[in-house]
Amino acid sequence: MEYSGPPIDEAQRLKLERALEDRMAKLNAAIALYLTAHSDPENIDYAAAINSMNAINELMPKLARDAQMLASTKDPAARKGLLDEMQALFDATKKVCGMTGTGDHEKIQEASNQYADVAGKLIFTFARGTNSDKEKEIIQLAKEAGAKTSKLLVSANELTCQEQSAATAAVDRAGVRTAAAARDLLACAQLTAPAIHEPHCQSALTAAAEGLSSSLHSMETAWKPLLEDPTRQHMSDTLHHQAMDVNQALERLQDAYRNLQGASDSELLPQQERKRLQFIASMAGAKSKLHGVEDGWNKSASSKPSEQEKQEAERRLAHSVAQLNAAVAALAAATADRENPDYATAELAMATISELMPEIVKDTEVVSSDKDAATRAAMHKHIQALCDATRGMCDGTGYQHGQGEAASKFAAATGKLVFLISPGADKGKQKHVLQLSSTAQQQAAQLTEQTRQLVPKEHPAAAELAQRADRTDDAARALHAVAQVTSPSTDSPRCQDALTGAVSHLHNTATDLVSACHRTQANCTAVDDAQQHLADTLQQLAHVCNMPPTDTTDTEESDEKEKQRLQFINSMSGAKRRLDAAAQQLTKPMVCQMMTQEDAEKLEDQMAEKLAQLNAAVAALVAATADRESPDFAAAESAVNTITSMMPTLIQDTTDTEESDEKEKQRLQFINSMSGAKRRLDAAAQQLTKPMVCQMMTQEDAEKLEDQMAEKLAQLNAAVAALVAATAGQCAQQ
C-alpha cells in the first residue's frame, strides 16, 4: 500500500530519513540480541529473546509507514527500488524470527548474515553514507578475535587427541560452543557496525563479546583437569597465553566503540534492559580479574611469616570470608525480583567479590604456613574450589543471579574453608539455619500453590494472584540461597543483616499475596493457615540468625543441650498460636447445650481432674525452667505440650456446663419471654410519641371505651402483682 497523505516537504523528508536510520539501527540491534540469545541451543536466554522479539514487532510497522512516506518523495523508479528493498528487509527479518534456535544454530547465523546484507544497504541509503572506516574497524577487530579463537581451538583439539575420557569430551563440547560464540560475534559485528554509534548496537555487540568470553571461561574450566599432568606444562602455557590473546582481542573490540557519541536519553534502550547489559559487562570484568587468582598461593610470601603476621592474617581472613559471603548473599537478593532487579547493588556486590578474593588467597596461604602437610593441602584445595565457585558466580543473564547450583557450589566451598580456619565455628547453628530456610521455601511453595488454586484462571484477580505468587516464590528461592552462603558466617553482622533482610522480604511478599487473596472474597482458610506456618518458621529463622555466638568448645552433651534449647524455642511459637486460638473461643457467643443433673455432675468431676493436671503441668514448666544456667528443656517442652493440648478441651467443657438442669432451662425460657414482652412494650410506647389522629364519636361510644380501658388496667395490675410474687423467692435466695 502506497502513501496517500499530503505531500512531504524537504524538512519532513530529512526528518523521515533520520527516523528510518534510527529505527534501522535499533532493528539491527534487536536482531543481533536475538542471535546471541540463541548462541547455546541447550541454554537459550529466553528473556533476551522475548525482549528482542518485542522490539522487532514494535519497529516493523513504524518502518513500513515511514518507508512509504519517504518513497512518495521519489521518482517512480527510485520509489519502486526503495519499496523492494524494504520488502526484502521484511522477508529477511521474518526468516530470522522464524528460527527458534532448537535446531541448527548455523541456520540462524546464515539468516542473520543475509539480513545484515539487506539492512546495511538501507542504512547507507537513509544515512546518506556511514562512517565506513569505523565500520570496517569493528568488523576487522571481530574477525581478529575469531581468528585467535580458532587458533586456541586448534591447540585444545591437540590436547583432547592425547586421550579419550569424560574430561576431553567436556572440552570438545565447550569448544563447539566457543566456536559458535565466535561466529555469533562476527555476525553481530556485521549487523551493528554500520550504526555502531547507536547505544542499542553497542549493547548488542557487547553482549556478543561477553558471550564469547563466557564460553571461553567454560572451556578453560573444562580443560583444567587435563593440564594437571606435569608432562603437559608446555600445553598448559600455550593454552593460557592463547586464551589471554582472545580476551585482549575482545577488549580491543570494545574499546573501539566504547566512547562513541550515542543518541539522546529518550532514544536509549529500556532502562532496565540497559542496566542488565551493563551488569553482564561488570560480571565479565570481575571474571577477568578473578582469572588465575588462585595462582597467587605460591607468590604471597617470600619468607616464613612471624607469629604476629599469622594472627593478623587469620583475623583478616575470617573477616574477609564473612564479607565475601555477605557480598554473594547481596548478589542473590538483589537479582531475585524478576520484575525489578537491583542491578546497582548487584554490581557493587560483584566488585566487592573481585576485590576480596586475591586477599583471601594470600591470607589463607599465610594462615596455612604452620599447618601440617595434609591440612595445608586441604586448605589449598578448598581455596582452588572457592576460586572456581566465585568465577562461576560471574556467569549468568542477570536474572535471579547467584542461586541454585551456583549458590550451592559456593556455599560448599566457603563452608569447608571456614571450618578449617575456624574449627570452633557453630556447626549446629549453621545446620539449623539451613533447615529452617529449606522449610520456609517448602512452606512458601505450599502457600503459592494454595493461592494459584484459589480462583479459576478466568477470574479477574487470577493474573494478579499469579504475579504475586511468582514474587513469593522468587523471594523464597532467594532466602534459601542467602541462607546457604551466609550460614557458615552467621555470627558476622553483615551476614546476619543479609539473612534478616531476605527473611523480611519473603514475609512481606507472602503478606501481600495473602492480602490479594482476601480481596477476591474467596475462602482463604487454607491460605491463612499456610501463611501462619510460614510466618512461624521465618520468626524462628530470624531469632536463630540473631542469636549471639555460642561456646562450641564443650562436649557433645552441650551440643545436645543447645539442640534441645532450639527445639524448645520452636515449640513455644506453635504453643502460643494454639493458646491464642483457644482464648478466642471465650469471646464467641455460647451455644447452650441442655443436659441432665447427672451428666452435669460427671462433667464437673472431669473438669476438676483436668484442672489438677493443668496445675501440675504449669508447676512442672516452672520447675524445669527455674535453673537459668541449666534448664531442663525436654521437661519444659513436655509441660508446654500438655498445657496446649488441655486448654482447648477445658474451655469447651466450661461452655458445656453453663446451662445444665431443668430449672435453668425454665429460667432461659422466662428470659426469652421477657425479652419479647419488652419489645412489645417498647412498640406500644412508641405509639405515644406519634401524632394523634382524632376520630369523632358519640357520648355512648366514649363511655363504652372508658369501661374497656378500666377492665384492661385491672388485668395489667393483676399480672404485675403475679410477676412480683413469682420472682420474690428467687431474689431472696440470691
Least Cα distance to 231 among 294, 163, 171, 130 occurs for 163
Residues 6+ apart with CB under 8 A from 364: 297, 317, 379, 383, 417, 421
Confidence at residue 685, expressed as pLDDT on a 0 to 100 scale: 41
Cα-to-chain-centroid distance, residue 30: 28
Least Cα distance to 274 among 193, 341, 330 occurs for 341
Give the model confidence (pLDDT) of 466-525 as tens digits. Answer: 889 989 999 999 999 999 888 888 788 888 889 999 999 999 999 999 998 988 878 888
Helix (H) or strand (E) holding 590: none
Both 381 and 460 in a single domain? no
Residue 203 structural domain: 131-269
User: Contact at 8 Å (CB) between 112 and 187?
Assistant: yes
At residue 676, what is the residue type? Answer: G
Confidence at residue 182, expressed as pLDDT on a 0 to 100 scale: 93
CATH number at residue 517: 1.20.120.230
306 part of a folded domain:
no
Confidence at residue 673, expressed as pLDDT on a 0 to 100 scale: 52
Region of 263 on the Ramachandran plot (φ > 0 left; ψ -120 to 50 alpha; else beta): beta
714 part of a folded domain:
no
Both 381 and 461 in a single domain? no
Name residue, grid cell 548487584: 346
Give the model confidence (pLDDT) of 142-173 as tens digits. Answer: 999 999 999 999 999 998 898 888 889 999 99
Distance (Å, whole) CA 298 – CA 288: 20
Confidence at residue 700, expressed as pLDDT on a 0 to 100 scale: 64
Both 392 and 458 in a single domain? no
Confidence at residue 113, expressed as pLDDT on a 0 to 100 scale: 85
Both 115 and 146 in a single domain? no
Confidence at residue 509, expressed as pLDDT on a 0 to 100 scale: 93
695 part of a folded domain:
no
Distance (Å, whole) CA 594 – CA 658: 9
Domain boundary among 373, 401, 425: 425
Assigned C-alpha cell, 13:
523528508
Distances (CA, A) of 447 to 472, 522, 571: 9, 15, 21
Confidence at residue 555, expressed as pLDDT on a 0 to 100 scale: 42
616 part of a folded domain:
no
Give the angle subtended at the CA of 365 by the CAs of 385 and 299, to the nearest 5°. 100
Both 450 and 491 in a single domain? yes
CATH number at residue 85: 1.20.1420.10
Confidence at residue 424, expressed as pLDDT on a 0 to 100 scale: 59
Confidence at residue 710, expressed as pLDDT on a 0 to 100 scale: 55
Maximum distance among all alpha carbons in the chain? 139
Both 246 and 359 in a single domain? no
Name residue, grid cell 570438545: 172
User: Contact at 8 Å (CB) between 105 and 41?
Assistant: yes
Both 397 and 471 in a single domain? no
Alpha helices in 291-426 (DSSP H): 307-334, 343-368, 373-392, 405-421
Domain boundary among 82, 113, 129: 129
Give every residue of the chain whose pLDDT is below 70, as ranges. Answer: 1-2, 100-104, 127-131, 261-271, 299-303, 397-404, 423-426, 548-596, 600, 603, 611-612, 614-615, 617, 619, 621-630, 633, 639, 646-734
Distances (CA, A) of 536 to 108, 377, 451, 516, 531: 52, 43, 19, 21, 9
Distance (Å, whole) CA 593 – CA 572: 34
Least Cα distance to 31 among 112, 95, 100 occurs for 112
Confidence at residue 203, expressed as pLDDT on a 0 to 100 scale: 87
**For the chain, how many structural domains are there in total?**
4
Least Cα distance to 108 among 34, 55, 46, 50 occurs for 34
